[in-house]
Amino acid sequence: MTDVALTKKDFTSDQEVRWCPGCGDYSILSTMQAFLPELGIPRENIVFISGIGCSSRFPYYLETFGMHSIHGRAPTIASGLAISRPDLSVFVITGDGDALSIGGNHLIHSLRRNVELKILLFNNRIYGLTKGQYSPTSEQGKITKSTPAGSLDTPFNPISLAIGAEATFVARSVDSDRKHLTEVLRAAAAHKGSAFIEIFQNCPIFNDGAFDSVKDSETKGAALLQMVHGQPIKSETHGLVHEGASLKLVELSSVSESDLVVHDAHNPDPSYAFALSRLSSSELSHVPVGIFRDVARPSYGSLVNNQIDEIIAKQGAGDLSTLLSSGDTWVVE
C-alpha cells in the first residue's frame, strides 16, 4: 500500500495525448487513470505493455512503468515479465489487429496458460494506425482502402475466441460507458490469472459509428444485454431464456421475469459462456456486455514458481560446484 492515497492525476504522465479528436481511446484512458488509484497498488508495481496500433500508444500516457513493444507480441513480453516478477501487476493493451491478426497465436496461448495478465483489447473493427484497412473483426463486406469491393473474410468473435482458448475471465465493455468499464476492470483486477476484456472502441476517422447501436440513447437500451452475476440477463426490451441446451433471445413482453436465464459467471462449463458470446450478431443489434466468464484456475506464474519452490524444498537450493562436478569425473594428478 502507498503511504498517501494516489489520485487520477498521479497516474497521468506528462506526455501529450496524440489520438484523433473524438477517439474512443480517450475515454478508456481517462477511465483507467481514474480507476488505478482504487487498486491501492504503488505506481512502480504497475506495468502496461502494448503492441503496435493507435491503441498501443496507451502506456505513454500513464505514470507507471510501460513498454510500447512490437506488433502483436505484447503478450509474450508481458508473460516473461509476469512469470518472473509475480510482485507486479501487468496489463496488456492491444488492438483488434494487434491481438487477433499478427498476435493471435500469443493471445490464445497466454489465455490457455492463464498467465497473470489483464488484457484489454480495444476493438474498433478497423486498422487505425495504418489508416483504415479492414481487420479480423470487421464485418464481411466491409469497404476499406484494401477492400474497395468489400472484404470477404468471416470475422472473429473475440469473446468466443477467448473462451475457446480456455480463458478464465472474459468480459466486454464499451469505451464511453465509464461506470460499466470501471466495474469490469475492478473484477478483472480481482481475478487471479488472465483476464480478457474486449472494449468496443469507436474510431471516428476510419470506422465511425461502428458501435452506434450500443451507444445511441435511442437504441442502446434495447441492444445491450446486461450480464450481472446472479441477475436475469436482459436488455430493456429483450431477455434470455433456455431453449434445450442453448440460449434464446426473446421479447420481454412474451415471457415472465422468472423464465429468464439468471447469469452465472462462475459456471465451470465453458459452453454456457460460449453460448452467450454467440448472441452478438455482426450488426450488433443485441450485444451481451459484462462478464461472460469468471472461473478459478491457478495462474501460470504461481504454478511455475510453486514448482521451483517445491523442488528446492525437497532437494535444497542448487550448488554450482556440485552441479559442475556431477556425473562421471576423474582426477588428473
Binding site for ligand SF4 (CB under 6 A): 19-20, 23, 25, 54, 124, 128, 203-206
Nearer to ligand SF4 by Cβ, of 26 and 65: the residue is 26
Q: How far is CA 63 from CA 15, 59, 68, 289, in A?
A: 9, 8, 14, 29
Residue 200: strand pairing partners: 123, 174
- In whole angstroms, the minimum distance from the beta carbon of 135 to ligand SF4 comes to 11
State which residue, 169 or 206, has the beta carbon closest to ligand SF4: 206
Considering only 31, 55, 76, 138, the residue that binds another protein (CB under 8 A) is 76
- 284 in Cβ contact with 224 (< 8 Å): no
In contact, 194 and 115? CB cutoff 8 Å: yes
Closest CA to 168 of 61, 268, 247: 268
Question: Measured between alpha carbons, how far is 318 from 308 in angstroms, rounded to an integer?
Answer: 11
Closest distance of CB 80 from ligand TPP, Å: 19
Contact 239, 252 (CB under 8 A): yes
Residue 161 or 291 having the CB closest to ligand TPP:
161
Closer residue to another protein, CB minimum distance, 58 or 211: 58
Minimum CB separation of residue 72 from another protein in Å reads 8
Span interacting with ligand TPP, options 48-56, 192-200, 247-255, 322-330, rule CB under 6 A: 48-56
* Binding flags for another protein, 286-325, as an x/- string (CB under 8 A): ------------------x--xx--xx--xxxx-xx-xxx
| DSSP codes, 90-121 | EEEEEEHHIIIIITHHHHHHHHHHT-S-EEEE
Beta strands in 78-218 (DSSP E): 89-95, 118-123, 169-174, 195-200
Least separation in angstroms between residue 244's CB and another protein is: 36
Instruction: Give the separation between CA 178 and CA 102, rounded to whole angstroms.
Output: 29
Q: Which of 6, 47, 49, 52 binds ligand TPP (CB under 6 A)?
A: 52
Name the residue nearer to ligand SF4 (CB basis): 134 or 300.
134
Using rule CB under 6 A, residue 24 touches ligand TPP: no
Binding mask 36-75 for another protein (x = CB under 8 A): ------xxxx-x-x--x------xx-xxxxxxxxx--x-x
At residue 279, φ and ψ (nearest 5 deg) are -75, -20
